[in-house]
A and B are shown apart, each in its own frame.
Chain A
Amino acid sequence: ETGVTQTPRHLVMGMTNKKSLKCEQHLGHNAMYWYKQSAKKPLELMFVYSLEERVENNSVPSRFSPECPNSSHLFLHLHTLQPEDSALYLCASSQDLVQSKNIQYFGAGTRLSVL
């Protein structure tokens, strides 16, 4: 148990569906992240929030829309996805962005399949 919980663990959706991924952290951290993990590729950073403000957006397609209503919750809203978006989506949190170690605590991920 890492203190970061993601739901759902598995999701199958069609290209015309709209769904949301949820992440909750119980660690009192100020920074939260969304990553995409595809087979044989590095972890791809998608979005970063610090104190509920988005501080990084790595050229992610607009069909992915993040939301951070408070420092404990992070959502990733999905709509009109493509089959190549099928991947493991990982949420992480860290104390903040400036500590030298910046230890990231990851959730177990949502395995997304787009049909």
Chain B
Amino acid sequence: GQSLEQPSEVTAVEGAIVQINCTYQTSGFYGLSWYQQHDGGAPTFLSYNGLDGLEETGRFSSFLSRSDSYGYLLLQELQMKDSASYFCAVRDGGGGSYIPTFGRGTSLIVHP
């Protein structure tokens, strides 16, 4: 089976930098993804890491260390609109299943 752990809540102020961690346990590994979901909205894809290292997309970056079964999402220059839930998801490819499993989500609260 698969399991993912991420903090339930993170708070920060506008303009700050925040890191949301995700640790996972899978039998195989086909990449770590991050999704953002605003209240009442649809989850939207943010970033994907298939190999170790950092992927940067504007103010958001995502990092992966396969040897540590660990990744994080880094949000820089925080804005109020970044207040949302952030989910990590992994695909383990075990048994021919390429379907992602999602974490419980981290609620990010950005204060003025």
Binding site for B on A (CB under 8 A): 2, 4, 33, 40-43, 45, 48, 56, 90, 92, 97-98, 100-109
Give CA–CA (A106, B104) in the complex, Å: 17
| Chain B residue with Cβ nearest A40 | B104
With A40-B104, A42-B105 as given contacts, are A106 and B33 in contact (CB-CB < 8 Å)? no
- Interfacial chain A residues near B35, Cβ < 8 Å: 104, 106
Determine if B45 and A103 form an interchain contact, defined as CB atoms under 8 angstroms apart: yes
Binding site for A on B (CB under 8 A): 4, 8, 30-31, 33, 35, 40-45, 48, 50, 87, 91, 97-105
Give CA–CA (A33, B40) in the complex, Å: 19
With A43-B87, A90-B42 as given contacts, are A101 and B33 in contact (CB-CB < 8 Å)? yes
With A102-B91, A105-B45, A106-B43 as given contacts, are A43 and B102 in contact (CB-CB < 8 Å)? yes
| Chain B residue with Cβ nearest A105 | B45
Which one of A92, A104, A105, A108 has the highest number of Cβ atoms from chain B below 10 Å of its Cβ? A104
Determine if A108 and B42 form an interchain contact, defined as CB atoms under 8 angstroms apart: yes
- Interfacial chain A residues near B31, Cβ < 8 Å: 100-102
Given contacts A90-B43, A92-B43, A108-B42, 17 further A-B contacts (CB under 8 A): A33-B99, A42-B4, A43-B102, A48-B99, A56-B99, A90-B42, A97-B98, A100-B30, A101-B31, A101-B33, A102-B30, A102-B31, A104-B100, A106-B35, A106-B43, A108-B40, A109-B42
A contact face: mostly helix, strand, loop, or mixed = loop
Give CA–CA (A45, B59) in the complex, Å: 30
Output the least CB separation between B106 and chain A (Å).
12
Give CA–CA (A103, B42) in the complex, Å: 14
Output the least CB separation between A38 and chain B (Å).
11
Determine if A41 and B98 form an interchain contact, defined as CB atoms under 8 angstroms apart: no
| Chain A residue with Cβ nearest B48 | A101
Determine if A104 and B104 form an interchain contact, defined as CB atoms under 8 angstroms apart: no
